[in-house]
Amino acid sequence: MATPVPPATADSPAGSKPTVIEPDKVDYFNLPCPVPYEEINREVIMSLKPELFEGMRFDFTRGLNQRFFLNHSVFMGPTELPTQSMDVVKIPTAHYEFGANFIDPKLMLLGRVLTDGKVNARVKCDLSENLAMKANAQLTGEPHMSHGMVNFDYKGKDFRTLFQFGNGALFGASYIQSVTPHLALGGEVFWAGQHRKSGIGYVARYNTNKMVATGQIASTGIVSLGYVQKVSEKVSLASDFMYDYRSRDVTASVGYDYILRQCRLRGKIDSNGCVAAFLEERLNMGLNFILSAEIDHKKSDYKFGFGLTLGE
């Protein structure tokens, strides 16, 4: 019986070298601009820290024209009071909030007035193509609780820098630089003259099309790590880790972010035994339904909220 003969292959010419595919060379003079320093954890925050609430809320937004909008918000639910013990103390509260927004490609003005007397204001102005000014302020009737802050954000070709000034002799500066197409490194310093405190911190952010990893360390004793993995176009998994060197507190959490055609579902569980979920569902054009739930097994605290958002 004849045995099968493998097909003949052409021998490589004598002295020839195998083909080597060289990796793409990195153009270090054409690196991307990194995200702002204060937003290095934005993917982690978006997945693990939704706006959880307890009670009922209703938000209505009405556009008077293409640039001017009015907001009406009503909230009814308990408010947790800080205590020295592990017991949870809540009191029933309710408030109404009125807001006015002016949005222009180069100027944004936001204002809020609450029934408890608080007034919040935010301003964002593009002074030039690369320089932006941001300001926010809060006025209250309580002594020493009002505050204001002004930021100047400069966006370079492959870096960002920010200078910050606030009441109470607060000064701060931050800088973040892209060192490769996927890696950015940065640092910050601040001085709070009223409290005689200063600090310095460092951050690192590595991102691709499928994942984002961040790390942050500060002289205040905080070490923070974050990671987001994009499983698909609609599903993301996230985790974070925080360690306080001074108090020896450690907290870790894992969560998910699932985007469907008509709704978005986010949830998490942390090392303190706290489980949370947040659902946003679009019922119709301009009408959204919100469900919020949180269970803290350690404190035996249970929170549930629902709401409606009307308007775009």
Superfamily of domain 37-311: Porin (2.40.160.10)
Q: What is the pLDDT of residue 10?
A: 47
pLDDT of 45 above 70: yes
pLDDT of 124 above 90: yes
Could you give the CA distance from residue 111 to residue 65 in angstroms, rounded to a whole number?
17
How many CB atoms are located within 10 Å of the residue 285 CB?
A: 6
Could you give the CA distance from residue 64 to residue 221 in angstroms, rounded to a whole number?
48
Burial track 224-248 (b if 16+ CB lie within 10 A, e otherwise): bbbbbebeeeeebbbbbbbbeeeee
Bridge partners for 222 per DSSP: 244
pLDDT of 67 above 80: yes
Could you give the CA distance from residue 222 to residue 264 in angstroms, rounded to a whole number?
31
Asked if residues 199 and 217 have their Cβ atoms less than 8 Å apart, the reply is no
Tokens 């979920």 belong to 277
- pLDDT, tens digit, 9 for 90 and up, residues 153-170: 999 999 999 999 998 889
Could you give the CA distance from residue 192 to residue 199 in angstroms, rounded to a whole number?
9
Tokens 């693990």 belong to 48
pLDDT of 216 above 60: yes
Q: What is the pLDDT of residue 179?
A: 96
Tokens 């204060």 belong to 38
Complete DSSP assignment for 37-75: GGGTTHHHHHHH-----SEEEEEEEEESSSSEEEEEEEE
Q: What is the pLDDT of residue 60?
A: 96
Could you give the CA distance from residue 73 to residue 69 in angstroms, rounded to a whole number?
13
* Centroid of chain to Cα 137: 20
